[in-house]
Amino acid sequence: MKYDEVVETLASYIVKKWEFDNGTKNIAKLILKDSMGCMVKSLNNNQCKKMLGPVENGAYVERGIMVPGQRKGLGLLDASWNLGILVRWLDYNDCFLAEEWGHPSDNLGGIIAAAYHQAETGNKITVGDVLNFMIKAHEIQGVLSLCNSLNRNGYDHVFFVKLATAAVVSEILGGNEETIKNTIANVFADGAPLRIYRHAPNVTTRKSWAAGDATMRGVRMALLTKKLDEGYPNILTEPDWGFNANVMNDKNITVSRELGDYVVRNILFKADFPAEFHAQTGAEAAMRLSEKYNGRLDSIKEIRISTHESAVRIIAHKEKLTNPSDRDHSLEYIIAVALINGDLKTEYYYDEYHNSHPEIDQLIKKMKVIENPRYSNDYLDPEKRSVTNAVQLIFSDDEASELIEVEYPIGHKFRRSEVEPVIDRKFRSNVTGYFNTNEIEELDKLFDDEEKLFDMEIRDFMKKWVK
């Protein structure tokens, strides 16, 4: 049955047998390593730990899916949820920015859980297979983000997580092209959540678990469609009730480039400091200024920050920062604590730290954030995809510091040579405290031999992360 063109394009991409080259596979391996480290780091967060385990108390599963932080197995949906929130909780995993933004490794929750689930039925699924599925999910979420802005219509980017997870998991579960099209159509019919939980005065920890919820819902849609294989061929274009008319405000959702491995190739890794990605270069600029001017922060009269439109709209000019979820998405807060400390740690967002450091708010009151149109254009330029911030300090005697402009964050493709040692250092830091020294060495070595890693069964791989 012929579906809307976008649905046809996505399903055709999923079922094609792709042989990704070594460069793409190496980046995918780094994404997996980084994501696993983020999962373990999240186990230190008390709010995150409250959300772990089965949604229904006591609903563990014999021979279930093993998840970091859980000593008993979980069912497929619960495992997708747990893995998804662990990857995403600290906002420390990879990122892709365009008209829409998001974190494509959020899809790993559903992908790993589904692969593990299928392996339990006798199908050999390796880490290499999982990475191929992951590359496809990254591509779907990222390419849809290039020219389709959900946020401008009030909807949350995790809809694209649900969609990408569902499409890939449908394949993992044995779906053919028709089933995958029906699954995608059901996701579009399911709709998108509002962004209300990401914006003041309604910011809550839901922004930390929304992606886990989305990847779990993607798995659920794949399962439901497998049971009764029905869909909606005109789900996007139906003039009264379709997705384009009702969610996109009559703008057609599009696939703006040929699908392949573009998104993994252009993925943005977060450096070994946690900051919302639009603020990463601002944090780096502030750290450089801190090296020279840390002893003069009391005499600052004004802090001038130039940034791109998305940062102004999403993470700047917040009047109140009432919880960690607010603070780690505040450009001004991130720059303030980076100036004060010369680094950036998750702990700086906690209530205790904020309440005991009044100088943070004093610096924020001196900040002036403006949009630089060139930065905004370069942010959307497919050949650049820059995420520029510039910071300058003006002192009470009218002396000005140098203007520190950082165009590309360390995790950008144009600084790719810097990424691998950063990911290695970040990984070891993330898992320290949960695993002992010998266990860390063993986990780190998993990623040294690519051939051995890619051929490892996914169940064996995941069991190494459970204590």
For residue 150 the two structure tokens come to 């959900």
Q: Which residues contact 63 (CB under 8 A, 6 or more apart)?
A: 73, 120
CATH class of 5-265: mainly alpha
The pLDDT, as a whole number, for residue 257 is 96
Cβ atoms < 10 Å from Cβ of 42: 26
Work out the average pLDDT over 242-260.
97
Per cent of the chain over pLDDT 90 is 88
Q: Which pLDDT band, with edges at 50, 70 and 90, does 290 fall under? A: very high
Work out the average pLDDT over 22-41.
96
The pLDDT, as a whole number, for residue 231 is 95
What value does the mean pLDDT of the chain take? Answer: 95
Q: Which pLDDT band, with edges at 50, 70 and 90, does 208 fall under? A: very high
Q: What are the domain boundaries of the chain? A: 5-265, 277-409
The pLDDT, as a whole number, for residue 410 is 87
Work out the average pLDDT over 137-144.
98
pTM of full prediction above 0.85: yes
**Closest to 125 (Cα-Cα) out of 386, 413, 455, 465:** 455
Query: What superfamily would CATH give domain 277-409?
Result: 2-methylcitrate dehydratase PrpD (3.30.1330.120)
pLDDT digits (tens, 9 = 90+) for 396-450: 999 999 999 999 998 898 988 888 999 999 999 999 999 999 999 999 999 999 9
C-alpha dihedral, 236 to 241 to 247 to 253, nearest 10°: 20
Amino acid identity of 228?
L
Q: Which residues contact 174 (CB under 8 A, 6 or more apart)?
A: 118, 226
pLDDT digits (tens, 9 = 90+) for 319-360: 889 889 889 999 999 999 999 999 999 899 999 999 999 999
The span from the CA of 53 to the CA of 330, in Å, is 30
Work out the average pLDDT over 222-237.
96
Q: Which pLDDT band, with edges at 50, 70 and 90, does 39 fall under? A: very high
**Closest to 342 (Cα-Cα) out of 311, 382, 297:** 297
181 and 11 in contact (C-beta within 8 Å)? yes
The residue ranges of DSSP E strands in 150-299, in sequence order, are none
Q: Which residues contact 84 (CB under 8 A, 6 or more apart)?
A: 106, 108, 109, 110, 209, 211, 212, 213, 214, 215, 216
Q: Which pLDDT band, with edges at 50, 70 and 90, does 274 fall under? A: confident
48 and 69 in contact (C-beta within 8 Å)? no
